Amino acid sequence: MFQNIGEMLVLFWRTLKALPLAFRHGQKVLGQLFEIGNASLFMACVLSLFIGGVLSLQSGPVLAERGLSNLLGGIVGMSMCRELAPVMMAVLIAGRIGSSMAAEIGSMRVYQELDALRTMNINPIHYLVLPRVLAISLALPALVVFSVLTGWLGGALAAVYNPKIAITFSTYYSYLDLVVDPWDVINGLIKSFCFAVVIGVVSCHQGLTTIGGPRGIGRSVTKAVVNSIVLILILDYFLTQLLLHFE
């Protein structure tokens, strides 16, 4: 475990050092942005719409029994910004994109394409890792913004059309505007950026260390997804503690 953590930290440092070369691989970064962002947008919005709806369905009746249903907009808004949107989008991207990164780079490692790149004096970290880490670091925060907006809409629809809650759109959004401030959105974006870096580095590391043929590729994909999700949840706790000190 400690060896893997050390290798991932070294990979992260080498990727950071290669950042000035990002413009040379702009086309690859744009391609990865399309794959990560645009191709995942619909799925992210559908997921967020129902997350917001479920949050309203669970919280709304309890608040309505106590005469506090007007506060539902603030609860849904705060929850989506600070926790649900960053964490759920990170888990979604880890499963959808992290597995793809690990499989693609892992197959190149198994079939000796990485050795061919080194033979042509092409650094695999510059050519393969940097564009993917940079693209996912830009795409995930953007997806979180769409997720937050869609989650707010899902919560509003569930609240307005549920007879046990029965509040208006104006009441829902007025309390949402009252409770949620720009720092809550920035909080979620900071978390999503950190989660994106973790997903990119972990997935690329698992791909670069793949051994054992097709079965090894399968193991690397599984490890990439599981390790990414575990690290996301652990990092979420520490980031929450850290960001609370800046409020």
- pLDDT by residue (tens digit) across 110-163? 888 888 888 888 888 888 888 889 999 999 999 999 999 999 999 999 888 888
- Mean pLDDT for the stretch of residues 204-221: 87
- Whole-number pLDDT of residue 166: 78
- Whole-number pLDDT of residue 172: 87
Whether 167 is covered by a domain: the verdict is yes
- Whole-number pLDDT of residue 242: 92
Whether 246 is covered by a domain: the verdict is no
d(CA 208, CA 115): 11
Whether 16 is covered by a domain: the verdict is no
- pLDDT by residue (tens digit) across 8-57? 889 889 888 888 877 777 778 888 888 887 878 899 999 999 999 999 98
- pLDDT by residue (tens digit) across 51-91? 999 999 888 888 888 888 888 888 999 999 989 999 999 99
Give me 86's structure tokens: 């960053």
Amino acid letter, 113: E
Whether 21 is covered by a domain: the verdict is no
Nearest to 81 by CA among 60, 62, 46, 55: 55
Amino acid letter, 172: Y
> Of 37 and 199, which is predicted with more confidence?
199
- For residue 136, what are the domain limits? 2-11+28-238
Give me 192's structure tokens: 């999503």
How far is the CA of 104 from the CAs of 52, 171, 178, 182, 238, in angstroms? 34, 49, 46, 38, 31
Amino acid letter, 95: G
- Mean pLDDT for the stretch of residues 176-191: 90
Q: How confident is the model at residue 230 (pLDDT cuts 50, 70, 90)?
A: very high
Whether 40 is covered by a domain: the verdict is yes
Number of domains, the chain: 1
Nearest to 90 by CA among 240, 244, 193: 193
Q: Name residues whose C-beta falls within 8 Å of residue 40's C-beta, 6 or more positions apart in sequence.
A: 92, 93, 96, 97, 139, 143
Whether 244 is covered by a domain: the verdict is no
Q: How confident is the model at residue 216 (pLDDT cuts 50, 70, 90)?
A: confident
Overall pTM > 0.85: yes
Whether 19 is covered by a domain: the verdict is no
d(CA 103, CA 179): 43
- Whole-number pLDDT of residue 85: 93
Count the neighbouring beta carbons within 10 Å of the beta carbon of residue 130: 26
- Whole-number pLDDT of residue 221: 92
Whether 18 is covered by a domain: the verdict is no
